[in-house]
Amino acid sequence: MLRNYIICLQCLFGYETNVMLVINNKGVGALFRLIQYVCWIQRAYQDTDSVISSVSTKVKGNILTNTSIEGVHVWDVPEYVIPPQGEKSFFVLTNVIPTPGQTQSKCPEIPSEVTKCESDSDCIEGHTEVHGNGVQTGHCVQYSDTIKTCEVHAWCPLENDTIIPK
The model's pLDDT over 30-59, given as tens digits with 9 standing for 90+, comes to: 888 888 877 777 776 677 777 777 666 666
Percentages helix, strand, coil for the chain (3-state, rounded to 5) are 20, 20, 60
Q: Which residue has the higher pLDDT, 99 or 119?
A: 119
The type of residue at 126 is: G
The pLDDT tens digits for 13-35 are: 766 777 777 788 888 888 888 88
The pLDDT tens digits for 83-115 are: 666 666 666 666 777 777 788 889 999 888 888
In degrees, rounded to 5, the angle at the alpha carbon of residue 76 between the alpha carbons of residues 75 and 79 is: 80
Quick one: residue 98, left, alpha or beta (phi over 0 = left, psi -120 to 50 = alpha)? beta
Task: Report which DSSP code applies to 41.
Answer: I
3-state secondary structure of 50: coil
Question: What pLDDT does residue 132 have?
Answer: 83
Cβ atoms within 10 Å of 148's Cβ, excluding its own? 20
The Cα–Cα gap between 107 and 161 comes to 16
Beta bridge partners of 142: 148
Does the predicted model carry a pTM greater than 0.75?
Answer: no
